[in-house]
Amino acid sequence: MADTIRTREQRTGLLLLVPAMLVLLLVYAYPIARSLWLSLFTQNLGTQLQPVFTGLGNYGRMVQDGRFWQAIWNTTVFTLSSLILELILGMAIALVLNHAFRGRSAVRTIAILPWALPTALIGTTWAWIFNAEFGVWNDILLRLGIIDTGVNWLGNPTLAMMCVIAADVWKTTPFIAILLLAGLQSISGDLYEAHSIDGATAWQSFRQITLPLLMPQILIAALFRFAQAFGIFDLIAVMTGGGPGGATETVSIYIYSTIMRYLDFGYGSALVVVTFVVLIAAVGLAAWLLSRTRTALRGS
């Protein structure tokens, strides 16, 4: 009787999953499969109307494409820099918000506002902040005497990358902080009290209790932010458009230019497939690290 009820519940659960699986197939599986198929053809609507099967020709072209490798480098620098800064700042903010103080609820609400604002709006705002002639940042530095003349922040390759990283960190650090704050609130205060009785300092408690128990949340937050940062488009498109001279052109910006500006659907599809493979590899690595962390926590 119990086996019959369990079988019926499993069958009901599978039936309830069917709509969700169909949505996933339509929204994710079909576009990726279609991109994989198109990547095997040369199809540029600017020069030819009919696709020509070339097999792995687009991928061979990608290996020799210096602009693609520059976009990969720009994306890697942007992703790693943003991710590291956001994890550090997000951890610091989460630790502060985890303590009880007057007005904590209001501070938590205010802290999450940057993440809730539209990215295009944030990009426009930061583009004006770093404007060479009318930007607030130049005005502040001039008033403080740090610089003698206005700096073209978004016109210099190195400074432009630093500016888009700063804008992304400002917007998405609250997301990291909220995830880590949820993990901090699940850690019992008795652990810290017992540790302090043994003579441990605050730093030792953070290193020996907080970090190990918070590692699953850190990995999940890092995974989300890696996927978002690696696929960044709107913020950079609004602030720099990939310039100056391609210094901030990420893979997403390059794919958009290839498909929408140059109408090269075959090569653009190959770029999409490679980007998807990189993200899947990152997800697999994060899942492996997360499973190892959970195993280590159970063993301890």
Among residues 128, 117, 216, the alpha carbon closest in space to that of 172 is found at 117
Q: Over 90: is that where the pLDDT of 251 sits? A: yes
Among residues 75, 132, 16, the alpha carbon closest in space to that of 278 is found at 75
238 vs 288, more confident = 238
pLDDT attached to residue 45: 79
Q: Over 90: is that where the pLDDT of 197 sits? A: no
* Half-sphere exposure (Cβ direction) of 52: Cα atoms closer than 13 Å: 10
pLDDT attached to residue 124: 93
CATH number of the domain at 39-299, please?
1.10.3720.10
**What is the distance between the alpha carbons of residues 169 and 198, in angstroms, rounded to a whole number?**
38
Q: Over 70: is that where the pLDDT of 188 sits? A: yes
Q: Which amino acid is at 130?
A: F
Q: Over 80: is that where the pLDDT of 298 sits? A: no
User: For residue 218, which phi and psi values (nearest 5 degrees)?
Assistant: -65, -45
**What is the distance between the alpha carbons of residues 193 and 4, in angstroms, rounded to a whole number?**
49
pLDDT attached to residue 212: 84
**What is the distance between the alpha carbons of residues 97 and 92, in angstroms, rounded to a whole number?**
9
User: For residue 132, which phi and psi values (nearest 5 degrees)?
Assistant: -65, -35
Q: Over 60: is that where the pLDDT of 165 sits? A: yes
**What is the distance between the alpha carbons of residues 255 and 275, in angstroms, rounded to a whole number?**
10
Domain residue ranges of the chain, discontinuous segments joined by +: 1-28, 39-299
pTM for the full predicted model: 0.86
Task: Place 14 in a pLDDT band, splitting at 50, 70 and 90.
Answer: confident
Among residues 281, 244, 274, 243, the alpha carbon closest in space to that of 68 is found at 274
* Cβ partners under 8 Å of residue 282, min gap 6: 223, 226, 227, 230
pLDDT attached to residue 43: 83
78 vs 5, more confident = 78
